[in-house]
Amino acid sequence: MPDVKKVVLAYSGGLDTSVILKWLEETYGCEVVTFTADLGQGEELEPARRKAEALGIREIYVDDLREEFARDFVFPMFRANAVYEGEYLLGTSIARPLIAKRQVEIARETGADAVAHGATGKGNDQVRFELGYYGLEPGIRVIAPWREWDLNSRERLLEYAERHGIDIEGKREEGGAPYSMDANLLHISYEGGVLEDTWTEAEERMWLWTNAPEAAPDAPQYVDIEFAGGDPVAVDGERLSPAALLSRLNELGGRHGIGRVDIVENRYVGMKSRGCYETPGGTILLRAHRAMESITLDRDAAHLKDELMPRYAELIYQGYWFAPEREALQALIDQTQRDVEGTVRLKLYKGNVTVVGRRSPKSLFDASVATFEDDAGAYDQQDAAGFIRLNALRLRLGAKRRG
């Protein structure tokens, strides 16, 4: 094995990363630094610290990244209205570059010469993590145990843990979680288990954040979201930090059964994969942001954004957050957001988000022009005749040629 002196491991404290921690020490004979990120997953993270301490780790990082995650990653993505393949709001995808960024920073702080992650060789996360590492620190050594070891089943992982005295919750006799799950402030995802049969409906008990629409309140709830510079800044008149605002929308959306999707997506590595996602706050935010843009963005600027959005979403999904093309698209998107300012009113009811009002001091909507009543000369309808003739010219010429 190439010489590795110190490695920073993205560590959750669960079975996989606890085994990886010991495997790194055993295989590479190196010192391990653990890094656990609080991205709003709703879990107590101190147990991860205690497990790392119990395994003899001296340098342990448990970092609260919730505000940075919402402010510098989620909100810029939502300025683009990014959706992958029509439905996925990129909750896992957008978290990976931040984790990679902080890992690289910790490697620099601690003098580590390598980083490691617990992503498997079948998924997208290995690509996202490693493109992030290399985009920030081109000479970093990356260790991906799932591509190196032979511990390719839960049974083998548990046997390894038992041999090395690793205390793991959810032993063989207790059974494991029925799904592979990932959670952060933006979403929670579910994969594997019964979901690998694309005809089988997900069990109701799987969903952790949202009420079933049938069980949601029978009365609708109205919510006002205020925007400035394309970002949400207040809910119902209360100014909130980015993380607090997203948490508030998650609570509202979850109560009303908003944000569930069940999709089969195309992974970057080539296979199709079924995933179920809960993104209650993000679903509300996307609807609100598009409504705010509808009255503040110029028509062709808005259409250009919509044309570029699938490419932007694909870049995030595939792990190219730090790539120059994503940064170039972000600059264009951010330029369009200067006047995206005002308030959107939405109605939340039984899994639905309905826009019922929007207003802005920068609005391009002019009722005196758009009215069906007397516009007092604000718009000369005779102008439309020449406009139509000019735009029809090529169609008429084409029709003549066809005879």
pLDDT tens, position by position, for the chain (403 residues)? 568 999 999 999 888 999 999 999 999 999 999 999 999 998 889 889 999 999 999 999 999 999 999 999 999 999 999 999 999 999 999 999 999 999 999 999 999 999 999 999 989 999 999 999 999 999 999 999 999 999 988 889 999 999 988 887 644 444 456 788 999 999 999 999 999 999 999 999 999 999 999 999 999 999 999 999 999 999 999 999 999 999 999 999 999 999 999 999 999 999 999 999 999 999 999 999 999 999 999 999 999 999 999 999 999 999 999 999 999 999 999 999 999 999 999 999 999 999 999 999 999 999 888 888 888 888 889 999 999 999 999 999 999 999 8
Q: Which of 57, 144, 137 is nearest to 102 (CA)?
A: 137
Quick one: tokens of 213?
A: 């629409």
The length of the chain in residues reads 403
Strand boundaries in 54-144, DSSP class E: 60-64, 114-116, 141-143
Binding site residue list for ATP: 10-18, 37, 118
Q: 386 to each of 254, 371, 381, 389, how far by Cα in Å?
A: 52, 22, 10, 5
Q: pLDDT value at position 42?
A: 86
Q: What stretches of 29-81 show up as alpha helix (H) in DSSP? A: 46-54, 66-69, 75-79
Q: pLDDT value at position 179?
A: 81
CATH top class, domain 182-297+339-359: alpha beta
Spatial distance between the Cα atoms of 154 and 307, rounded to a whole number of angstroms = 43
* In the chain, ranges of CATH 3.90.1260.10 domains: 182-297+339-359
**Unique residue bearing structure tokens 């190439």:** 2
Q: Which of 255, 209, 223 is nearest to 40 (CA)?
A: 209
Amino acid at position 40, single letter: G
pTM: 0.94
Taking CB atoms within 8 Å and a gap of at least 24, the contacts of 86-90 are 87/261, 87/263, 88/261, 88/263, 88/265, 88/275, 88/277, 88/317, 89/186, 89/187, 89/277, 89/279, 89/282, 89/283, 89/286, 90/313, 90/316, 90/317
Q: Degrees (nearest 5) of the Cα angle 106, 326, 316?
A: 70
| Contact criterion met (CB below 8 Å) for 49 and 60 | yes
Q: How many CB atoms lie within 10 A of CB 398?
A: 9
The residues annotated as belonging to the active site are 16, 96, 125, 180
Q: How many CB atoms lie within 10 A of CB 241?
A: 13
* In the chain, ranges of CATH 3.40.50.620 domains: 6-73+86-176
Question: Got the DSSP string for 243-255?
Answer: HHHHHHHHHHHHH
Fold of 6-73+86-176: Rossmann fold (3.40.50)
**Unique residue bearing structure tokens 């590492």:** 133
